[in-house]
Amino acid sequence: MAAAPPPLGTLDVAIIPVLSDNYIWLLREPASGRTAAVDPALAPPVIAELEKRGWGELHYILNTHHHLDHTSGNLDLKKAFPGLKVVGPRADHRRIPGIDVQLGDGDAWQFGGLEMRVFDTPGHTRGHIALWFPRAEALFPGDTLFSIGCGMLFEGDPKTMWGSLSKLASLPKETRVYCAHEYTASNANFAAGINPANTALLERKARVEEARARGEPTLPSLLGDELAVNPFLRPHDPEIRAAVGLPPGAADWEVFGAVRRAKDGPRGRFMLAFYAVWDRLPAPLGRAIAALF
């Protein structure tokens, strides 16, 4: 007797840790056997994981934004899999190596039997997109939303980024959030400093520390949990408003911006200033400098 077909909405997800703190998410839609790598910084670990799992070839790369730690594997993977298509942000297509399919806000794209929806989420970069699989209850927010954190505002202002985060925050609470970096422990330390009365946050912080002590990833997280513990999604919280010195009447995006600046600190401000100069360099020179780091 043939095996029962996989249930509708199933998405197999494998986690591939690379570099110091990046995750590449490797996806397979089991009904069609289609595969995709989300934000591959490198090609060899993706190829090794496909072989280990017996998932065959890679059909797609899904890029959320142009940063090198999300796109540097694109061209090598295209060489390894000649039929591979790179799917990425229309608004940033010139900065996505090898892009074939350009998507933007409100677009739907078919990954085998699963529909993927696209949100423009500018702020971390101008052309950033987030990828949502509604039936699989899975969100790939790239560097827009982290667990207990959010991306730095390299190419956008707080109002823009708050608009992007608000789109993601309105998705169903059962949504699993597959962030692109393992920053959760340091994010939890910062969050506990400005929101110490949040017991859900303190409980999550303890679980995160236990997971990291065991060498385990803290992701994916649940969107419902993020809404309860992530200070970047909680500008309405009076304790957070007071911690960043803003009155009850301040706009949510203003509170968000103040929380972001507090998290940046001196090191973050240096990175933002450095990035602003780097961003204006001709692309080949910028890539050469980035390769030094």
Q: How far is the CB of 245 from Zn ion (least distance, A)?
A: 29
* Class of residue 106 by CB neighbours under 10 A (exposed 0-12, middle 13-18, buried 19+): exposed
Question: Is 66 one of the annotated active-site residues of the chain?
Answer: no
Question: Is 76 one of the annotated active-site residues of the chain?
Answer: no
- Residue 71 near residue 79, CB atoms below 8 Å: no
Question: Is 67 one of the annotated active-site residues of the chain?
Answer: yes
Nearer to Zn ion, 45 or 141 (CB): 141
Question: Is 93 one of the annotated active-site residues of the chain?
Answer: no
Task: Report helix, strand or coil for 177.
Answer: strand
- Specify the DSSP class assigned to residue 5: P
Q: Which of 65, 92, 128, 225 is catalytic?
A: 65
Stretch of 93-101, 104-112, 143-151, 257-265 lying at the interface with Zn ion (CB under 5 A): 143-151
Nearer to Zn ion, 214 or 267 (CB): 267
Query: What is the C-alpha separation between 51 and 117, in angstroms, rounded?
Result: 28
Q: How far is the CB of 143 from Zn ion (least distance, A)?
A: 4
Q: Looking only at residues 66 through 85 of this chain, which bind Zn ion when binding is defined by CB under 5 A?
A: 67
Q: Which of 59, 66, 124, 128 is catalytic?
A: 124
Query: What is the C-alpha separation between 187 and 206, in angstroms, rounded?
Result: 13
The one-letter code for the residue type at 3 is A
Nearer to Zn ion, 72 or 195 (CB): 72
Query: What is the C-alpha separation between 225 and 147, in angstroms, rounded?
Result: 9
Question: Is 92 one of the annotated active-site residues of the chain?
Answer: no
Structure tokens at 258: 């103040």
Q: Which of 59, 66, 128, 181 is catalytic?
A: 181
Nearest-CA neighbor of 37 among 13, 18, 8, 19? Answer: 13
Instruction: Kindly tell me which residue out of 143, 155, 182, 226 binds Zn ion, with binding defined by CB under 5 A.
Output: 143
Question: Is 236 one of the annotated active-site residues of the chain?
Answer: no
Nearer to Zn ion, 67 or 78 (CB): 67
- The torsion of the CA quartet 208, 214, 217, 218, rounded to 10 degrees, works out to -10
Q: How far is the CB of 246 from Zn ion (least distance, A)?
A: 27
- Interacting residues toward Zn ion by CB under 5 A: 67, 143
Active site residues: 65, 67, 69-70, 124, 143, 181
